Amino acid sequence: MEFSAQQIADLLNGTVEGDPDVRVNAFAKIEEGKPGALSFLANPKYEHYMYTTEAGVVLVNQDFTPSAPVKPTLIRVANAYAALAVLLDMADQSKKKSAGIDSGAFIHASVSMGDDCYVGNFAYIAEHAKIGKNCKVYPHAYIGEHVTIGDGCILYPHATVYEGCVIGNNCILHAGSVVGSDGFGFAPEEGGNYKKIPQLGNVTLEDDVEIGANTTIDRAVMGSTIIRKGVKLDNLVQIAHNVEVGECTVMAAQTGISGSVKIGSHCRFGGQAGLAGHLRIGDGVSVGAQSGIISNVESGRSILGAPAIDSKAFMRSSVIFSRLPDMYRTIGQLQREIEQLKEKINK
């Protein structure tokens, strides 16, 4: 589809600066912009590309002030990144959608399924599962017994939902994600063996949750592992048994959450962050990449490092890290000089 700059601005409640009739039919990063493409500028570190890009239209924030002449037509909006998301969603919705039940899918006779669902070849939906309307279950996805899935959900190939789990409305499970696998529970026995502890609970995902590829969420020993409304988990995230993740919290790839941790709402976790078990993390906490958290964290804090400390304190400390070898040598030299002075004094 093709749109003019003015049409896009009207849709986004933005204002045009330049040629309102210039037309675009594709998206491009600002550094790769070509004629006929729409791009955006949200991060100031990419501003220099604004003066060389060939994109026809660029979305910018209302407060953007160019430091040189610009060639593209600008559309000023309140939030360029959010506006781009609106346009990308429209483009995605315009794609041809899969529909119907493929002949190679298995759906047990006891399954309850809403209208307008798609189930791909080799998908398996077990006994007494309940699937809402407008859901898409792609090939090789697995839905276990007594699973409940709300409306508008998408399960991509090889997504797995174990028995008894509950998934809310408008959730997305990407390829290879696993919801409801056994928690890591083993009791040590005499002789060094471990007795497996049955994991009898489930996993509950509330509405608007997105689970990245190959992310795993373990079922509870008893009760539920709970992922609250609006949570977004990146690829390769591990959520252990009986964890609770608060509303609209986001986690980057390879984050690992140990058992029985309770995480507040609107938290942010950088990649490879790790949390010890049974901790309490408050609301609005920011955790830097590769942080190791071994104690409770109060609401609103920003932490970094392993073990994690206040992020500003860590940054100050990081300046010292590179100087430690020189400081060590200096301390050694001072110690030797002190010993020499002591010898002179004692003579």
Query: Using one digit for the tens of pLDDT, what is the confidence trace for 118-161?
Result: 999 999 999 999 999 999 999 999 999 999 999 999 999 999 99
Catalytic residue, chosen from 48, 241, 266, 278, is 241
Q: Give phi and psi for 290, each to the nearest 5.
A: 65, 20
| Strand-pair category, 224-227 with 100-101 | unpaired
Domain co-membership, 79 together with 178: no
Domain co-membership, 308 together with 178: yes
Q: Which domain holds residue 124?
A: 100-312
Question: Domain for residue 340, yes or no?
Answer: no
Full-model pTM: 0.85
Which residues make Cβ contacts (< 8 Å) with residue 106, sequence separation at least 6? 122, 123, 124, 125
Question: Domain for residue 8, yes or no?
Answer: yes
Q: Give phi and psi for 179, each to the nearest 5.
A: -115, 115
Query: Using one digit for the tens of pLDDT, what is the confidence trace for 198-246?
Result: 999 999 999 999 999 999 999 999 999 999 999 999 999 999 999 999 9
Domain co-membership, 88 together with 193: no
- Give the separation between CA 119 and CA 161, rounded to whole angstroms: 15
Boundary (domain end) residue, out of 40, 74, 93: 93
Provide, for the chain, the percentages of residues in helix, strand and coil under a 3-state DSSP scheme, each rounded to the nearest 5. Answer: 20, 30, 50
Catalytic residue flag (residue 140): no
Domain co-membership, 248 together with 290: yes
Q: What is the per-residue DSSP string for 75-94?
A: EEES-HHHHHHHHHHHHHHT
- Give the separation between CA 26 and CA 286, rounded to whole angstroms: 35
